[in-house]
A and B are shown apart, each in its own frame.
Chain A
Amino acid sequence: MLKTFPKGGIHPPENKITAAKAIKRMSVPKTVYVPIAQHIGIPSKIIVDRKDKVEIGQVIAKSGGFVSSNIHSPVAGTVTKLDMMVDSSGYKKQCIVIRTDPKNESNLVIPDFPLKREITLSQKDILQHITDYGIVGLGGATFPSHVKLDIKNDKHVDCLIINGVECEPYLTADHRLMLEKSEEIIVGIQILMHALNIEKAVIGIENNKKDAIAVLKRATESNPRIKVSALRVKYPQGSEKQLIRAILKREVPKGGLPMDVGVIVHNVGTIFAIYQAVQHNQPLTERVVTVTGKKLNNPSNFWVKIGTPIKDLVEEVGGVPEGTRKIVNGGPMMGKAIKNTDVPITKGTSGILIISEEEASRKEPKNCIRCSQCVFVCPMGLEPHLLMNLSEKGLYERAAKEDVMTCIECGSCSYVCPSHRPLLDYIRFGKSIVKKLETSKN
C-alpha cells in the first residue's frame, strides 16, 4: 500500500498530456516584462532607471525586506519603461520592461553547465547565495526560500522533504525536470543537507510518475541518506502539510509551520534553482513552464525566461485554438484565469493551461443538499459548506472560530459539489475579511 495523507482528497482526471515531451528552450523574447511583486511578501525595490543598459543576471530590483527577494534581469538589453502592467493577480502592478539587445551574445548562451558534484562553499555562503540569487519557492507559492531556511534556535529540523508530487492535473514541469536534471537535483539536496546539518531527505513523488521515481532511485542508490518515496495519486498531496503527513505521519499544528514538526519542504524546481545558484552562481531568471491544453497542436514543456509574455509561449505551441474559453496561469485546480495574453511569466508560473468552453464554464449553482461531499474531501478536516454560509451571511467571527484560516484553498470542495456551489469563492472571501479583522485587532 502506497503512502498518502489520510483525510479527504480527490482524484481528478490527470490529463498529463505533456509528460513525454522533453523540455524545449524558448527563444529569447524581444521584450520582457518583469513584475516586481513575484513573490509572497514585500515587493522588491526597483534599482534601475529608464534607458539603463542591463546585463543578464544583473539585479534590477532589490529585496524590500526579510520576506522579499532580489529580482535579476533575465536578458541583456535596455530598460525601456517602468510601467504598470496587468499580471497574473488580475491587477496592474509595477513592471520593469526590458528590450532585449539582439546583438548581445550573452542572450544566446544556454545556462547548461556540466554537473558539479563537490560542494565547496561554506554553510553561510550557501545561504547567502540562496538569498542573493533571488530563489523563491517554485511550486507556486513563491515564498522566498531563504526565509524557509532560516531555522530559529528553538527549532530542530531532522528531515528535508523534496516535493516532486505535482498533484495538479495537466502540469508536467516538475516531472520533466526530475527526469532531465535528476543528478543536479540530488546535488541540490546535498547542498541543503550540508547547509542546514540535516541527516535525512525524502523525495516524495506520486506513483503516476514511475519513470521519475525510477530515475531518482537510481541516482540515490549510492546515498543512503536520501530516499525516494512513491505516493498514492491524490490531490492535494503537493500541499506542504499533506505531504508531511503522507511521508512522515507528522501533523503540522494549526497555524504552524513545517519547521514546528522538524521538517523543511522544498519543491524540486526550487532545489534545481538552488543548485544553479550555489554551484554555478546563476540567479533565478528562468523556469520550466508546461504549456498545455487538450485542443493545442503541440503542447509541451519549456525553459522560459521570467518576464516572457504568455502570448509568446502560446504562439510557440501553435496559437490559441478555436473555441478557447480560458487561459489559466497554473493548473486547473489552483490556477487562475488570466485577463489577457500580455501577462508575463513570473517565478510562480508552473504552467499555462488553455481550456475550451466545455471544460471552462461554471454551472449554475443550486441549493446545498447537505450531502456533505465537501466535508469528506476537505484535506484540512473543515466543513466547507458551513464556512461558505458563514462568509455569505457575514458571520466572520464565527467563521474564524470554525478555522476558516486553515483552509489551503485547494478547491476540492468546489470540485466535488454536486450542486456546483461556489464554495471556495466564498471561503476565500471570508478568509480575506477575517485576515483584515485580525490585522486591525493587532
Chain B
Amino acid sequence: MIASVIYSAILLSSVGTVAAIVLFVVSKKFSVFEDPKITEVEDALPAANCAGCGSPGCRAFAEKLVNTEDISELFCPVGGNEVMKQVAEILGKEVAEKDPTVAVLRCQGGCDVRPKTTEYQGPRSCAISSLVYGGETDCQYGCLGDGDCVNVCKFDAMFMDESTGLPVIITDKCTSCGACVEACPRDIIEMRPKNKRDLKIFVGCLNEDKGGIAKKACEVACIGCSKCEDICPKDAITMDNSLAYIDPVLCTLCRKCVEICPTHSIIETNFPPKKVKKPKETPVVKASVTQQNPSANA
C-alpha cells in the first residue's frame, strides 16, 4: 500500500521535473524580446480601440509609436495632447501638438425644412440607399437620415433626433476618432477645431446646386449668394460651386457671416446670446411688462 503511494509520487515528480526542464529550455530558446515600453505606452493610451489613429487598435498603435523614429505625425485623437505628452515622456521622443477637433454635422435639412419628394423602401442604411439614388428629398448632398454614423460611433456621442431625422453630435462625448466621417457616404460630417469654449462657426450645408434649386429643395440651404464672402474681414470664406466654406484656421469667430446669411445656413455653436444695444426706452418697456404681469414678480 505504502509502496504504491511512493511509486506514484516518484513517477509524478519525475515527469514534472522533465516537463519543467523541457519548458525551461524551450522558453529560453524561443523567447521573443518585446520592448516593455510597448505595454507602458499601451497603458497610457485610452484603450478605446477606435482606430481613429489609423492603426487597428491601441496595442498596434503603441507598437507603431515605439518602433517609429519620428512620431510627430502620429496622433491619438481620443487621448489628445495630454496622452501624447505622456507617450512622449515614456519614449523620449517629440510629439506634435494638435488642436483638439470635434465632429460637426454640415446639414440642417430636417423634415420640416426639406420636404420629402420620394419614398425609399429597402434596407435602412445610408451606404445602400446612396447607391440607389440621391435620397428621399430633392437635395442630393444632404443627410440621408438612416444613421450609419450613429451606428459606428463607439462613444455614444451621436443619436438620431426623431423630430428632424438628422443625427445629433454630443460634443462633450465626441473623441474625434473619425469613424462617422468615414461612414457617411455624403461626407457631411467634418472635423473642426474645438477651442476652449467649443465655439464654432461653419456652413451647415453642402448643396452645390444653384441658389434657386437649392432653396427649393431645402429652406436652409446655402444658395451661394456670396454675402458672407463679401462681409468676412479675414477672407476666411471661399465660394465653390455656389457653396460657401469657412476656413476654421482663418476664421476669428466674429459672427458677421451668421447674421448676414439670408437662409440661416451658417451655424454658430455655444456662443452666448448677443448683447442687444439697449435703446433708451428699454427700461420703460420693461416696467410696463412688469406692471402687466404682477403675478410674475410674486
Contact = CB atoms under 8 A, between A and B. Distances in A.
B117 interface: yes
B30 interface: no
B133 A339 contact: yes
B8 interface: no
Nearest to B136: A339
Interface stretch (A118-126, A166-174, A190-198, A423-431): A423-431
A90 B122 contact: no
A362 interface: yes
Interface stretch (B31-39, B76-84, B124-132): B124-132
Given A92-B209, A340-B117, A432 B131 contact: yes
Given A90-B133, A425-B123, A432-B131, 13 more contacts: A89-B133, A91-B134, A336-B132, A336-B133, A339-B117, A339-B118, A339-B133, A361-B121, A422-B122, A425-B128, A426-B123, A428-B128, A429-B131
16 contacts: A86-B134, A90-B133, A90-B134, A91-B134, A91-B140, A339-B118, A339-B134, A340-B117, A340-B118, A362-B121, A365-B123, A426-B128, A428-B128, A428-B131, A429-B125, A429-B128
Contacts of B127: 429
A82 to B, nearest CB: 12
Interface string B191-210: 00000000000000000010
B146 to A, nearest CB: 12
Contacts of B132: 90, 336
A387 to B, nearest CB: 14
Contacts, number: 39
B241 to A, nearest CB: 10
A408 to B, nearest CB: 16
A340 B118 CA distance: 8
Contacts of A90: 132-134
Contacts of B118: 339-340
Interface residues of B, number: 14
With a 10 A CB-CB cut-off, give which of A92, A340, A432 has the most chain B CB atoms: A92
Interface in A339-385: 339-340, 361-362, 365
Contacts of A429: 125, 127-128, 131
A84 B125 CA distance: 26
Nearest to A325: B119
Contacts of B133: 89-91, 336, 339
Interface in A399-442: 422, 425-426, 428-429, 432
Nearest to A360: B121
Enumerate the 6 nearest inter-chain pairs by beta-carbon distance, A residue then B residue, closest first. Answer: A90-B133, A362-B121, A429-B128, A422-B123, A91-B134, A425-B123
Nearest to B133: A90
Given A90-B134, A92-B134, A432-B131, A425 B117 contact: no
Interface in A193-232: none
A267 to B, nearest CB: 25
Contacts of A365: 123
B206 to A, nearest CB: 13
A91 B134 CA distance: 5
B215 to A, nearest CB: 15
A365 B122 CA distance: 9
A336 B125 CA distance: 18
B175 to A, nearest CB: 21
Contacts of B121: 361-362
A81 to B, nearest CB: 11
A137 to B, nearest CB: 22
A105 to B, nearest CB: 36
Contacts of A432: 131
Contacts of B128: 425-426, 428-429
Interface in A111-144: none
A302 B135 CA distance: 30
A121 B127 CA distance: 50
A92 B123 contact: no
Contacts of B209: 84, 92
Contacts of A428: 128, 131
A425 B140 contact: no
Interface in B72-124: 117-118, 121-123
A213 B209 CA distance: 50
A436 to B, nearest CB: 11
B140 A92 contact: yes
A169 to B, nearest CB: 20
A84 B118 CA distance: 19
Contacts of B117: 339-340
A92 B121 CA distance: 21
A331 B284 CA distance: 73
Contacts of A84: 209
Interface string A76-119: 00000000101001111000000000000000000000000000
A425 B134 contact: no
Nearest to A391: B128
B242 to A, nearest CB: 11
A47 to B, nearest CB: 22
Nearest to A363: B121
Contacts of A361: 121
Contacts of B122: 362, 422, 425
A422 B128 CA distance: 11
A91 B138 CA distance: 10
A91 B133 CA distance: 6
A45 B122 CA distance: 35
A263 to B, nearest CB: 31
Nearest to A392: B123
Contacts of B131: 428-429, 432
B136 to A, nearest CB: 9
A339 B127 CA distance: 18
Contacts of A89: 133
B186 to A, nearest CB: 12
B115 to A, nearest CB: 13
B76 to A, nearest CB: 24
A345 B127 CA distance: 27
Contacts of A92: 134, 140, 209
A389 to B, nearest CB: 13
A86 B133 CA distance: 10
A89 B133 CA distance: 6
A121 to B, nearest CB: 42
